[in-house]
Structure 1
Amino acid sequence: MSTGQGTGSGGRAIEVRHLRAFLAVADAGSVTRAAARLRVTQPVVSRTLAALERHLGVRLVDRSTHHLALTPEGVAFRDRAAAAVGAFDEALDPGRLHARPLRVGHAWSAFGPYTTPLLRTWQQRHPGTPLELLRIDDRTAGLTRGEVDAALLRGPVDTPGLVTEVLFTEARVAAVAADGPLAARASLSLADLAGDAVVLNTVSGATTLALWPPHTRPAATVTVANTDDWLTAIAAGRGAGVSGASTAQMHPHAGVAYLPLDDAPALPVLLARREGPGHPALPRLAALAREIVAREQRTRPRDSGAERE
């Protein structure tokens, strides 16, 4: 059945099966896995995808590596294709819930203390739409690459094409070696960390040297690419780190002590999505996230340090 787009430059009508093949490849990251999911052969998927690209006149998938990746045009087209397929399915069977998973990325600490309440409440209210929480070590947690539908991010995000909403803010904490001299302190200041190296996650972290005043910036930095390496470097005494209070809750480490950081500004926690229609369940996710934060903040002890107004 045709989508009604006409024949375009490819000379043949584009049908819903072309969109389904593209979405399967985008989700699976592989033509082979997409073919298995669609129960067709690999050449069929390749030909179908190629026909769609010819029709649109753009390359949607970068085939230069074994792990396929969407091009920027593919990322932009993915939401439109998913919306079109969803509308088509709903028109044929309005009573059937579309069960495409809602994928939410995060680079570390997810939704902090609200992670479990969010997942449990979503499952209770929306069992027909699985919520998948994916850790992706990237500043936008895979959102700009089209790997997820939304992302929970920390710190300011100025990436073009993204829409963000601040859900809550959390206090920042210092992370120091558990057997080091700073671990015995009740709290620390940014100046206390400036005498030694600071460990920065330059791939997905929210802390940069700009957090310190120019006259008290750390003398040296150690750069890492993910939270696991960040913790390992701090435990080994290579330097101290700064993160949000949720990191202390979600990533305890025997070799790392987390201490309040008295003079650091609060860290905003954002829900981000791409511009455009996106996954149909995104408005429900945003509403539930706001509800969970409001509910938990009413009942959570005020001295927990997890959030600041």
Structure 2
Amino acid sequence: MKNLPNASSKQEKFVKLKICLSRCISDELRILWSSPYLSRLWCVFELAAYKKVNPGGKITFRPLFIERTVCVMLASAYCFAALFLIARDVFGPGITTLAVAFAIFACPYAAGIYLLRMSFREKHQLISQLANFDLEEVHCAEQFDRDFIHSAIEKWYGSKRAFTQFVRQDLRKDVEKILAAKRLPRRYLLLLLLPILSCSMEFFLANWKGGAPRDVLLSFAIGILFGYDIFFITACSLLMVYLCDILAPKRCGCLDHLQTLFAIFLVVGLLSLGNQLSAQAYQGSLSGAVVFLVVSIGFAWLMWWMERDSIDVLAPKDDPPSPPSRAEVTGKKADTFGPPVREWV
């Protein structure tokens, strides 16, 4: 879009841009967001142009930090799950196997907590960028391009201020709704359960083929497969994401990483405690496994409720008027605020 061929004037660029955009209108503009996006004028121009040619279209920001973190956690969990199976076969029951089993929880979740906490800062940064957006501060390498884009925005939106208000208010609220709707998609939660479920299923099938009593198999399925692997780990994952979000802002200066360590010790400690309790419950009796399952379901429900309640608190509300942009502060003539202009040329 930057180098439109044979466009010797801004007027010709408007015409060529209209033809280009009119041929590629979609119901949704999905932006794979990274932190420099709103600091680049041509990226901002994408927003302005799309909203002009498709006023009813949906603009969706998709930060990629969640996928990045889930990928690291999943790879780490599979790695240590494989090491656990190898250690169990090579060393048998013992301290080495126990250490590798603990690493299945400690390493993936420690890495995930650190990455998630750092990544959730990007979410807060995105909201801050939108709330404090100033068109005059957006970078552009060439002055001709800057003049062209500013002229286009003024022509489409009536003024630079109108577009600035659109980004600060309408677009920001839409983005906040998207980011607050769910911190971690449910399908990713299910994906994170696969490594430990694979280990447990391998153990369950081995006992089944080995002729273990039916009560033992049922107790294992209730206490371990459902109680721990599904509900308890899901609850800990929700707690992990919740803590990473609320602890994302930097608060303690050089001791900021203490917040990360707190989340790691709490989540990994709960995972280890749940692992021990579930093993004792299913080995003790079928009723013990059922009790642990009920407790795990209650724990998971509590985490679901906590997340939903915190999302309601974070839901965007009406804001006071945004602060003026740099152009208004420096005394430039304020443009008339109004709806986007429909004419292209």
Same fold (TM over 0.5): no
Q: TM class by shorter-chain length?
A: under 0.3
Normalized per residue, the structure richer in helix is 2
Structure number with greater Rg is 2
TM-score w.r.t. length of structure 1: 0.21
Normalized per residue, the structure richer in strand is 1
